[in-house]
Amino acid sequence: MIGVDIGGTKCAVLLAQTDATIVDRIAFATDKDKPWAQIVAQLFEVAQQLLTQYQARSQLVSIGITCGGPLNSEAGEILSPPNLPGWDDVPIVRLFEEKFGVPSKLENDANAGALAEWKFGAGKGVSNLIFLTFGTGLGAGMILDGKLYRGTNGLAGEVGHIRLTHDGPTGYGKQGSVEAYCSGSGLARLARIALADAEAKQTPQGILGNIPNRNQITAKQIGLAAQQGDHLARHILATSGKFLGYTLAALIDLLNPERIIIGSVYVRCEAFIAPAMQQVIENEALAPSRQVCKVVPAALGEEIGDYATVSVSILAREEKSE
């Protein structure tokens, strides 16, 4: 199987056996100055290189492709993602199928992450789960009754766009959205607000106050400061945890999942986010639904992107055989 991950910063192509064992992987920087057709040609070239190197062309059964949205997974088209300027209505699945002659499938990052954690990670053996990215943005993938749920036109899971408050920071183009509180970019905005407030009140700004350019504060820096005992950083993460709790309580009441798996920032900062999150869930979610749902960090770590493409490749093979 071939897995292809198309990102705004880098692209990766990997070769995997049909049992999902990853054989090799090649990554390269995404040159945004190049038209999409040249990047796709480069993906073809790398995929062919792996197939030739491992003499695997005759054993190729499927290709899985992941990319940030928006996209149309049913049509196999990439639809103008903000991190890939110029990639307008790209028929990526058709192009790969014409080139390699095997079933190919396209999924967005969140759906692919849900598939990966379900098949290989923290969701193994579960029929109903929600996967939240909690990366630069906040998206969700959902496995419901043992199947990936995409919605009517593939846009299910845009949890980050839900409004929680009317006077909070802005994320996903909406003030007070889930993404504004529960994402890497959201944490950076919360930090700038907290520092400005501390400065106005002439209260200690801690470790984060020593960062020269506040516009360049990152979630990683906030997490590291929290680990060093910084009170402001811990307050920011607890605030995020509170709003994450409101979000998860609503999802628990609505979808009655057995597991909620959260990636990226949550994995690194669980100790500072989870207490406030759990307290809100206890107060807000229906007890019978809450009691059967575990909230856990993603298990695949830095390998989730690789296993996501493998999972989509497996899905392509399975759907072809139905």
Instruction: Give the tens place of pLDDT for each residue, 33-80.
Output: 999 999 999 999 999 999 999 999 999 999 999 998 888 998 999 998
**322 falls in which pLDDT band (50, 70, 90)?**
low
Mean pLDDT of the chain: 94
pLDDT digits (tens, 9 = 90+) for 242-281: 999 999 999 999 999 999 999 999 999 999 999 999 999 9
The mean pLDDT value for 176-187 works out to 95
Question: Do residues 127 and 264 both lie within one domain?
Answer: yes
pTM: 0.90
Q: How much is the pLDDT for 110?
A: 93
Question: Do residues 234 and 283 both lie within one domain?
Answer: yes
CATH, residue 7: 3.30.420.40
Question: Do residues 260 and 167 both lie within one domain?
Answer: yes
Question: Do residues 143 and 246 both lie within one domain?
Answer: yes
100 Cβ neighbours under 8 A, 6+ residues apart: 2, 47, 60, 63
**83 falls in which pLDDT band (50, 70, 90)?**
confident
Question: Do residues 168 and 189 both lie within one domain?
Answer: yes
Question: Do residues 312 and 169 both lie within one domain?
Answer: no
Question: Do residues 69 and 198 both lie within one domain?
Answer: no
Q: Is residue 116 a part of any domain in this protein?
A: no
Q: Is residue 113 a part of any domain in this protein?
A: no
Q: Is residue 117 a part of any domain in this protein?
A: no
Question: Do residues 97 and 201 both lie within one domain?
Answer: no
Question: Do residues 101 and 219 both lie within one domain?
Answer: no
Nearest to residue 119, comparing CAs of 304, 320, 266? 304
Q: Is residue 249 a part of any domain in this protein?
A: yes
Question: Do residues 288 and 308 both lie within one domain?
Answer: no
pLDDT digits (tens, 9 = 90+) for 148-164: 999 988 889 999 999 99
Q: Is residue 163 a part of any domain in this protein?
A: yes
The label of the residue with tokens 């199947």 reads 147
Name the domain count of the chain: 2
Question: Do residues 272 and 167 both lie within one domain?
Answer: yes
Q: Is residue 67 a part of any domain in this protein?
A: yes
- Asked whether residue 321 carries a pLDDT value surpassing 80, the answer given is no
> For the chain, what percent of residues have pLDDT higher than 70?
99
Question: Do residues 257 and 164 both lie within one domain?
Answer: yes
The label of the residue with tokens 């049913």 reads 74
Q: Tell me how far apart the alpha carbons of residues 70 and 156 are, in angstroms, rounded to a whole number.
A: 11
Nearest to residue 282, comparing CAs of 295, 271, 269? 295
> For the chain, what percent of residues have pLDDT higher than 90?
85
Q: Is residue 295 a part of any domain in this protein?
A: yes
Q: Is residue 21 a part of any domain in this protein?
A: yes
Radius of gyration for the alpha carbons in the chain, expressed in angstroms and rounded = 20
CB 114 within 8 A of CB 129: yes
| Helical pair 265-284 and 231-255, crossing angle rounded to 10 deg | 60
> 142 lies in which domain range?
122-299
